[in-house]
């Protein structure tokens, strides 16, 4: 029998978790007979205790903060669900409750996976920020300055135009509410990496005499800002009748040429 309040008994949930660990499987993939053996009861008794439904047992395991499995990991589903919420409704829509509903998991499982909302937001931002790919591009020893700059623009174009549009939503938030605590914490977390990666590469290029000497933050803005604004606005501009834009590859080539004219040494 279930508990008086209709919940699955705790000892049944614990038996399911032990059986899953013993077999090296997700709870959803563990046969009922194995769970019954772990609980020390017959299969029919276990089915009565869970109301005859594996869904009820899976829900009880999920409520205990463990994903029962049978679908992709909570981390992947939560990052995707959170990105969609931000892209469609803005940063304020990112609550653990809303993510849990969209990702079909429990709020406790989000705490187990991420530790809290800030860590989930960082994971979403990192997934949709082209920072890591840029760091790979600028360490290619065989690429020249123009190739690297063009590669950075192509990464920006891809990150700013794909769905869900997380970066444009966050940029809009930054313009509307520059003091937003969530954005401030993201900047404090990611800016040192950006300066160490992209800024370090630009500093090396200046030291080698390939780029004119100037403050690193201004040089980063000179590199990124024009393309950033273009690709943020591009989906809207493309809707204007009679206004033809060059393709993405041609646009990236134009931005590359403009940056090299302004920043590169002759």
* Residue 69 forms part of a structural domain: no
* Contacts for 124 with CB less than 8 Å, ≥ 6 apart: 79, 82, 83, 86, 94, 166
159 lies in the same domain as 238: yes
Looking at 44, 63, 82, the residue that finishes a domain is 63
Q: Examine the domain organization and report whether 52 and 141 are in the same domain.
A: no
Same domain, 56 and 182: no
DSSP string, 176-190: H-TT-HHHHHHHHHH
Which of 131, 257, 107 is CA-nearest to residue 201? 131
- Contacts made by residues 207-211, CB under 8 angstroms, sequence distance 24+: 209/265, 210/145, 210/264, 210/265, 211/145, 211/263, 211/264, 211/265
What is the predicted pLDDT for the residue at 44? Answer: 85
Measure the CA–CA gap between 51 and 49, rounded to whole angstroms: 6
Q: Are residues 166 and 228 in the same domain?
A: yes
Question: Structure tokens of 16?
Answer: 């399911």
Domains held by the chain: number: 3
The reply to whether 68 falls in a domain is no
Over its C-alpha atoms, the chain yields an Rg (Å, rounded) of 25
Contact 50, 9 (CB under 8 A): no
Give yes or no: residues 37 and 152 share one domain: no
Residues 146 and 174 in one domain: yes
Q: Answer whether residue 123 is part of any domain.
A: no
In this structure, the answer to whether residues 95 and 28 fall within a common structural domain is no
Residues 243 and 136 in one domain: yes
CATH number at residue 18: 1.10.10
Same domain membership, residue 172 and residue 133:
yes
Domain co-membership, 151 together with 175: yes
Q: Is 210 domain-assigned?
A: yes
Domain boundary among 63, 82, 98: 63
Residues 170, 235: one domain?
yes
Beta bridge partner(s), residue 264: 211
pLDDT in tens, the chain (266 residues): 444 445 788 899 999 988 887 877 778 888 888 999 999 999 888 888 888 778 888 888 888 877 777 666 788 889 999 999 999 998 889 999 999 999 888 888 888 889 999 999 999 988 887 655 666 667 666 678 999 999 889 888 888 888 898 888 888 888 888 888 888 888 887 777 777 788 888 998 999 999 999 999 899 999 999 999 999 889 888 889 988 899 999 999 999 999 999 999 98
Q: Is residue 14 part of a domain?
A: yes
Domain housing 140: 129-263
Q: Is there a single domain that holds both residue 98 and residue 203?
A: no
Q: What is the distance between the alpha carbons of residues 73 and 79, in angstroms, rounded to a whole number?
A: 10
């Amino acid at each position: 029998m279930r508990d008086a309040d209709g919940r699955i008994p705790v000892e049944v949930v614990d038996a399911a978790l032990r059986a899953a660990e013993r077999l090296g499987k997700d709870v959803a993939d563990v046969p009922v007979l194995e769970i019954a053996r772990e609980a020390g009861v017959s299969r029919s008794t276990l089915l009565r205790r869970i109301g005859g439904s594996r869904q009820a047992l899976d829900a009880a395991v999920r409520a205990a903060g463990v994903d029962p499995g049978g679908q992709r990991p909570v981390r992947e589903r939560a990052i995707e669900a959170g990105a969609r919420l931000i892209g469609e409704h803005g940063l304020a829509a990112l609550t653990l409750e809303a993510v849990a509903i969209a990702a079909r998991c429990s709020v406790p499982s989000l705490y187990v996976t991420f530790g809290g909302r800030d860590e989930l937001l960082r994971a979403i931002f990192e997934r949709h920020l082209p920072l890591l790919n840029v760091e790979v591009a600028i360490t290619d020893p065989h690429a020249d300055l123009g190739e690297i700059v063009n590669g950075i623009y192509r990464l920006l174009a891809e990150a700013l135009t794909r769905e869900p549009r997380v970066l444009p939503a966050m940029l809009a938030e930054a313009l509307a509410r520059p003091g937003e605590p969530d954005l401030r914490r993201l900047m404090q977390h990611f800016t040192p990496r950006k300066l160490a990666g992209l800024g370090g590469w630009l500093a090396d290029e200046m030291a080698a005499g390939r780029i004119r000497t100037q403050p690193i933050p201004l040089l980063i803005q000179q590199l990124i800002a024009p393309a950033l604004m273009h690709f943020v606005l591009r989906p809207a501009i493309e809707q204007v009748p009679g206004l033809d834009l060059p393709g993405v590859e041609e646009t990236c080539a134009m931005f590359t040429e403009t940056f090299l004219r302004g920043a590169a040494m002759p």
